[in-house]
Chain A
């Protein structure tokens, strides 16, 4: 899903007619989304046409991605359904290596002839670019898997749930917020289905059916007398799940410190909207934070974004090598730091894993977009940097022979490249709950939910906000806080991680919009953790008067 589309759809105050002119796909009725337009045999025949054309035109490697990308977005505000958009985008992306150089072309003409033409274009681009190529592309070996398939293990396909059921749920959440003091409530539901068929000249034919879902809202309280307004966003996470995520189960609900409600594998949007209105109201009069050093207790729906920015991105090999220097940036992590085997990224409490197989996560697939079977591997072990995130054509640069399966393209018409896998902080081994953690803190702040985020282009200096903040004094939460943001340096921050709660508190945070590349592409990724404590972090006061 492209971020620009989301911003267009989810923006506040959309009124009147909205033409989805920039939407990635064509808008279609729901029945169309449930059709199966091409069976596997037809897809294989089309893929073989590309593979044969490329080979006869001099390609030494080819991969073909036949993609069908379905989305349904529902947007509401207060008691109105503002829009229901169904989109479909179908086409083929062909990537070749000729003269040791990559070439890529795509087409939405789904005929043998259309695919042959696109393949010839990909070959021509590779040949033109090979004049500038300094080193030929080297691909790490990957097995030929033959004809295989993989599907997100969903229980209820959200595209099959009647639209009226989904709009009712969102309107109920808005109503609950308004009843509990909210001035405004906007809620949205995003449902994604990527049907991807991959074929390569190395003999893999991989059919995948990937599902993602994201219910979210923003609830606002306006206090006209003081002129203040405060908002709280949903505590949901986008998930690699079906509609079952929206059918709450009591065992997935966590009552956190200060009555904060948190959710694991299912989500109660009405209950969360109720609390969001109450919390937004409380924020209007909450105490403004005194700046200074605090011990921070960060819950997973907040910490996930900090992991994403300060660990997930700096460990991308293409960034380290300089391929993103003109846009996203490079990294403070160097190949030398990796090779040393002693680079202390964090304290010994910090073990961080990459995992493209984690059930329920956004990044979970059976195979990546260059046909590599996905896996789980360590990035940071007991605080020490041990590995990175890489694709087939770059992993040899860190002396490894097997790709990490980190290749992804946002659609059939974008070229695949290195993207972040799910990157997660492992839970602590000792039995330890967030309540116990707060009890052990003398002067601290408990932060829940994702807020403002910003980090430099080499991933040293960052600043994060949150959704709700609570002051901890002598082991107890004493009051809500306003105007909180913390600043730190990546290595210093992770070395100040003194404790991570146990696996009972472990859950996923997610983002649909990890942006990278030129032209920019979005990728969806999850980050798991348990609540964790970071000592002596610099907190600033963000209150201003204009």
Chain B
């Protein structure tokens, strides 16, 4: 029962809402079907499937709010969960930041988040993907470790003001790490897609195998400032960190977007003028739901235009405090790229470092958005337009703001998989000057 159609979901939500006696009531349904396979040491280690549907009910009396959830859907259960949320609301203290439910919203076009091919993934598909990774690895004296997870999900909401919204979504994430059996080389590759027909585990695995073999016996370079070519994953892992442009934090003076003396940096140039970043739920490459979980309509909007901060994101409460329209937080980000391929950028580099990915990125100073982290699974020295040799991993201390001010070239954009983030990004490979590597790591 995990993936309900729009009509099935609406029927359950209407029934639940019919039991409400509160001043306001919002009901939601969220269902997910997930499957995964994990392998390491060239062998499958775990595999599983899980499924769940949860009904959430939020009731309010004035500004007193209570929420309850349940995963049973007979009439008695529906009434029980509504009563439970009302009891909780009566017990709750008033929340001065409570916002009344929204009326019906207009959503701009059909969602692009569902793929029939992904919906039909079987355990046999997953096993074959693992086999397509393990087999070629073993043939090259390389050890594979990887993970494939596929999901089908839906979300629906209904409230007593008449707002109804529904979306269903599929996704596949595949990551693989290949390590040479002498322990001196490691390579990584990853793909994230909505439509599984765009995924080829063997091709992705081959990229990781090649990187592992090429990265054997790395040499040490002195830490310092280097020109770097960041593959899309590495670029995305830093750029994503500047996209939480929360208006409230900026207004309160505790954000990199706060200004000395008060105010925010909206309308000011923050990074190189070639940087253009926007969010768009209807992107073909990184589609997302046209609405966020309170029912607000998402829109295509600029985040950074020609290097200038276009606007910040306002939750509904903060928007009323500032007399502006609320701006939903982005569910994806698209950064415009150029035409150069990775090979073109390498060819055009006298001295530099090619970075496959970053790892263990943590904030150091929220004021300047300074982060630290390390390169991992394929770091190479470039000289006179060619990859000369693999190099040992570096620790960096860098701010994405400083980095995007030191932009040299934007390459072709692609959908990137980040080390830890949740946001879907379509982002170019990029060349950056004076990137700060502060120490060496012996890790392979």
Contacts and interface: CB of A to CB of B under 8 A. Distances in A.
Contact of A105 (B44, B48, B262): B48
Given A329-B443, A455-B360, A456-B360, A21 B97 contact: no
Contact of A183 (B30, B40, B253, B402): B253
B259 A227 contact: yes
A542 B99 CA distance: 40
Given A84-B92, A321-B41, A460-B443, A16 B316 contact: yes
A485 B260 CA distance: 25
A15 interface: yes
Contact of A19 (B67, B134, B368): B67
Contacts of B26: 17, 19
Max chain B Cβ within 10 angstroms of own Cβ: one of A23, A106, A455, A456: A456
Nearest to B223: A487
B56 A19 contact: yes
Contact of A224 (B65, B246, B262, B402): B262
Nearest to B314: A15
Given A21-B293, A413-B50, A128 B127 contact: yes
B97 A16 contact: yes
B192 to A, nearest CB: 14
Contacts of B258: 222, 227, 229
A312 to B, nearest CB: 15
Contacts of B298: none
B409 interface: no
A460 B442 contact: yes
Interface stretch (B113-121, B139-147, B160-168, B283-291): B139-147
B106 interface: no
Interface in A434-466: 452-461, 463, 465
Contact of A485 (B98, B294, B315, B364): B364
A82 B43 contact: no
A327 B252 contact: no
A317 B308 CA distance: 49
B175 A326 contact: yes
Nearest to B398: A544
Interface stretch (B338-346, B348-356, B371-379, B424-432): B371-379
B217 interface: no
B262 A454 contact: no
A13 B249 contact: yes
A459 B207 CA distance: 25
A518 B49 CA distance: 13
B315 A15 contact: yes
A383 B20 CA distance: 65
A506 B400 CA distance: 40
Contact of B36 (A105, A121, A458, A519): A519
A193 interface: no
Nearest to A101: B44
Interface string B54-90: 1010101000010111110000000000001001100
A106 B50 contact: yes
Interface string A1-30: 000000000001101111111010011110
A233 B260 CA distance: 24
B28 A19 contact: yes
A454 B374 contact: yes
B56 A20 contact: yes
A23 B58 CA distance: 14
Given A28-B68, A325-B40, A415-B48, A546 B261 contact: no
A133 B317 CA distance: 55
A128 B155 CA distance: 32
Nearest to A108: B71
Interface stretch (B1-9, B195-203, B433-441): B433-441
A387 B3 CA distance: 48
12 contacts: A19-B56, A21-B155, A27-B68, A102-B46, A108-B52, A224-B253, A227-B261, A324-B145, A454-B373, A457-B376, A461-B440, A461-B441
Interface of B: 26, 28, 30, 36, 38-50, 52, 54, 56, 58, 60, 65, 67-71, 84, 87-88, 91-93, 95-99, 101, 123, 127, 130-131, 134, 143, 145-147, 149, 155, 175-177, 179, 188, 246, 248-249, 252-254, 256, 258-262, 293-294, 315-318, 359-370, 372-374, 376, 393, 395, 397, 399, 401-402, 438-444
Given A26-B69, A83-B95, A222-B258, 20 more contacts: A15-B97, A15-B99, A15-B248, A17-B60, A19-B58, A27-B67, A85-B67, A108-B71, A132-B44, A133-B43, A184-B254, A322-B145, A325-B177, A326-B177, A332-B442, A454-B372, A454-B374, A456-B374, A543-B365, A543-B368
